[in-house]
């Protein structure tokens, strides 16, 4: 029981709680989200939203800061979606997400990302 | 003295809530129920983002699982009472969180967010494609809503919006209270410790992955409760309303605007969003225009959201106040 006393003093007190989780301010995703929301015409918003997500997914799956990773993964995504429509038309939209999930479960930093 | 003021505040809020449908009428009663549903949804999301430091882009899957769980149970089990239906929604979302937790506790940061995006889209497309179970794009609508009964005591008809308002307030209020109480327990303190320094918490002898899993399941379960109330409130649950990517972003934006780091921040954020939507939709259809602008302003000038801004003002005011006191004493 005595083990959690030092933690409560450091972490449980009220002074600690008003801190910003660090990765929020640093990620560009929060910059482009409002930009999408204010895009002027209805057709444009939906296309822009999904294309941006595709690009973001490619970068995360390939690994942050890796140009070659982004290139290879974008080719893999393209092939997956076009062959997916050919052979598994019902679940074609899922293949990219499944590929990304498998990669991130095995290597959370992305295919060619460096360990943090 | 401070405690007494708090009791008076909560008493006044309770009395206002009790007479709310009588004062404001049916329309604003329904607006308030929507606000409360999204408040619980965003608070359960903030358990992950604000308290544990895990950003999720797919929290809607728990919301949707709760809604679909309740809707399917009411559709297929004849004579199911109301509260067990809500509990089925909670268990469905908690079960999903339990299944996903072994994967999710091992990662954090961007991978956590993107993996949630992937699973959220998986659920969305499954809900669209499994037409025999989920009804595809139409969703499940028109399921029977049973009366709220305590056997042998009362039976309240839930078809009337006023009665449903009281039922929703009790369920959502109790859920919010449970979450608030959870943040005050030792486990809730470890949560903050994991956000600030997981390595140190590990050295102190706490099991970080298991703690994360427990928090994850609790957060998912209460998102499920809000989804199940949402399904009962609309009498409809559909893939676009419950699983779509914008349903995942709603709590992100609500929490950002309300304040990431405080428990009551998301509740204020939900209220702000509801008010903006209510006011804007009287003049123009482009609610997103105003919402996006406000989001930009908040991220640029008040990164801790509404609650952070209030705290900043209060701090400034108290400094000025003490300065004035000193000057007054000097003269």
Element at B235 (helix H, strand E): none
At residue A88, the pLDDT reads 79
Residues of chain A positioned with their CB less than 8 A from the CB of B289:
37-38
* pLDDT band (50, 70, 90) for residue A90: confident
At residue B23, the pLDDT reads 87
B:26-65 residues touching chain A, CB 8 A cutoff: 49-50, 53, 55
Predicted confidence (pLDDT) per residue in B23-59, tens digit: 888 888 889 999 999 999 999 999 998 888 888 888 9
Of B103, B192, B296, the CB nearest to A105: B103
Rounded to the nearest angstrom, the minimum Cα separation between B193 and chain A is 5
Bridge partner residues of B140 (DSSP): B237
User: Chain A contact for B94, CB < 8 A?
Assistant: no
Q: Is residue A41 packed enough to be buried (19+ CB in 10 Å), middle (13-18) or exposed (0-12)?
A: exposed
Long-range CB contact pairs, A9-18, < 8 A, 24+: A10/B193, A11/B189, A11/B190, A11/B192, A11/B193, A11/B196, A12/B186, A12/B189, A12/B192, A12/B193, A16/B192, A16/B196, A17/B192, A17/B261, A17/B262, A18/B261, A18/B262, A18/B304, A18/B308, A18/B311
User: Chain B contact for A97, CB < 8 A?
Assistant: yes
Distance CA B263, CA B282 (A): 31
**Could you tell me the two tokens for A16?**
């600690």
Side-chain half-sphere CA neighbours of A7 within 13 A:
26
Residues of chain A positioned with their CB less than 8 A from the CB of B53:
21-23
pTM: 0.82
User: Chain B contact for A34, CB < 8 A?
Assistant: yes
**Could you tell me the two tokens for B310?**
């209030």
Predicted confidence (pLDDT) per residue in B321-331, tens digit: 777 666 655 54
Q: By C-alpha distance, which of B68, B63, B62 is closest to B85?
A: B68
Of B49, B190, B295, the CB nearest to A7: B190
Distance CA B191, CA A11 (A): 9
* pLDDT band (50, 70, 90) for residue A81: confident
The predicted model gives B169-187 an average pLDDT of 91
Element at A49 (helix H, strand E): helix A42-62
A60 with B111: Cβ contact below 8 A: yes
The mean pLDDT value of chain A amounts to 68
**Does ipTM exceed 0.90?**
no
Q: Which span out of B140-154, B218-232, B302-316 was modeled with the highest average pLDDT?
A: B218-232
Q: By C-alpha distance, which of B128, B115, B62 is closest to B91?
A: B62
DSSP string, A52-74: HHHHHHHHHHH-TT-HHHHHHHH
Residues of chain B positioned with their CB less than 8 A from the CB of A94:
121-122, 125
**Could you tell me the two tokens for A59?**
């970068």
Q: By C-alpha distance, which of B216, B248, B252 is closest to B105?
A: B216
Taking residue B142's Cβ as centre, other Cβ atoms within 10 Å add up to 9
Distance CA B50, CA B191 (A): 10
Rounded to the nearest angstrom, the minimum Cα separation between B61 and chain A is 15
* pLDDT band (50, 70, 90) for residue B97: very high
| 3-state SS class at B177 | helix
User: Chain A contact for B172, CB < 8 A?
Assistant: no
Bridge partner residues of B237 (DSSP): B140
User: Chain A contact for B106, CB < 8 A?
Assistant: yes
Disruptive mutation site among B102, B109, B110 for chain A (greatest number of A CBs within 10 Å): B110
Q: Produce one character per residue of A5-31: b if its CB has 16 or more CB atoms within 10 Å, e if not.
A: eebeebbbeeebbbebbebbeeeebbe
- Cβ proximity of B219 and B44 under 8 Å: yes
Q: By C-alpha distance, which of B92, B97, B133 is closest to B116?
A: B97
Disruptive mutation site among B45, B108, B111, B257 for chain A (greatest number of A CBs within 10 Å): B111
Distance CA B129, CA A112 (A): 33
Disruptive mutation site among A3, A5, A17 for chain B (greatest number of B CBs within 10 Å): A17
Distance CA B235, CA B204 (A): 49
Distance CA B62, CA B197 (A): 27
Residues of chain A positioned with their CB less than 8 A from the CB of B115:
100-101, 104-105
Of A12, A38, A90, the CB nearest to B288: A38
Predicted confidence (pLDDT) per residue in B84-95, tens digit: 899 999 999 999
At residue A43, the pLDDT reads 41
User: Chain B contact for A21, CB < 8 A?
Assistant: yes
The mean pLDDT value of chain B amounts to 87
Of A22, A38, A90, the CB nearest to B289: A38
For the cut 80, the answer to whether the pLDDT of residue B133 exceeds it is yes
Distance CA B89, CA B80 (A): 13
User: Chain B contact for A85, CB < 8 A?
Assistant: no
At residue A72, the pLDDT reads 92
User: Chain B contact for A71, CB < 8 A?
Assistant: no
Disruptive mutation site among A33, A36, A99 for chain B (greatest number of B CBs within 10 Å): A33
């Amino acid at each position: 029981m005595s083990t959690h006393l030092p933690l409560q003093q450091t972490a449980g007190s009220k002074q600690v709680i008003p801190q910003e989780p660090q990765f929020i301010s640093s990620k560009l995703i929060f910059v482009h989200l409002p930009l999408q929301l204010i895009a002027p015409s209805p057709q444009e918003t939906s296309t822009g939203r999904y294309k941006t997500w595709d690009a973001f997914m490619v970068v995360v799956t390939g690994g942050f800061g890796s140009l070659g990773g982004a290139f290879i993964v974008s080719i893999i995504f393209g092939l997956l979606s076009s062959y997916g429509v050919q052979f598994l038309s019902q679940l074609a939209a899922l293949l990219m997400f499944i590929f990304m999930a498998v990669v991130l479960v095995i290597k959370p930093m992305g295919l060619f990302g460096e360990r943090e | 003295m401070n405690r007494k003021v708090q009791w008076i505040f909560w008493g006044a809020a309770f009395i206002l809530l009790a007479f709310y449908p009588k004062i404001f009428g049916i329309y604003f009663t329904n607006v308030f129920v929507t606000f409360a549903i999204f408040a619980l949804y965003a608070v359960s999301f903030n358990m992950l983002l604000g308290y544990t430091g895990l950003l999720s882009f797919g929290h809607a899957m728990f919301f949707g699982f709760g809604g679909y769980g309740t809707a399917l149970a009411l559709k297929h089990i004849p004579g199911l009472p109301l509260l067990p239906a809500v509990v089925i929604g909670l268990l469905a979302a908690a079960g999903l969180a339990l299944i996903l937790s072994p994967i999710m506790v091992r990662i954090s940061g961007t991978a956590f967010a993107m993996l949630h995006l992937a699973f959220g889209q998986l659920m969305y497309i499954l809900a669209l494609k499994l037409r025999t179970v989920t009804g595809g794009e139409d969703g499940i609508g028109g399921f029977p809503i049973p009366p709220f009964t305590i056997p042998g005591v009362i039976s309240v008809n839930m078809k009337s919006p006023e009665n449903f308002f009281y039922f929703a307030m009790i369920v959502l209020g109790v859920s919010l209270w449970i979450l608030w109480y959870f943040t005050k327990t030792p486990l809730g303190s470890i949560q903050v410790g994991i956000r600030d320094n997981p390595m140190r918490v590990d050295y102190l002898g706490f099991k970080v992955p298991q703690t994360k899993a427990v928090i994850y399941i609790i957060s998912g379960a209460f998102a499920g409760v809000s989804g199940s109330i949402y399904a009962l409130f609309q009498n409809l649950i559909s893939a676009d309303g419950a699983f779509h990517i914008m349903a995942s972003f709603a709590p992100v934006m609500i929490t950002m605007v309300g304040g990431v780091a405080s428990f009551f921040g998301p509740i204020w954020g939900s209220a702000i969003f509801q008010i903006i939507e209510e006011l804007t939709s009287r003049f123009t259809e482009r609610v997103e225009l105003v919402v996006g602008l406000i989001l930009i302003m908040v991220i640029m000038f008040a990164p801790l959201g509404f609650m952070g801004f209030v705290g900043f003002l209060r701090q400034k005011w108290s400094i000025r106040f003490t300065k004035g006191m000193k000057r007054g004493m000097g003269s």
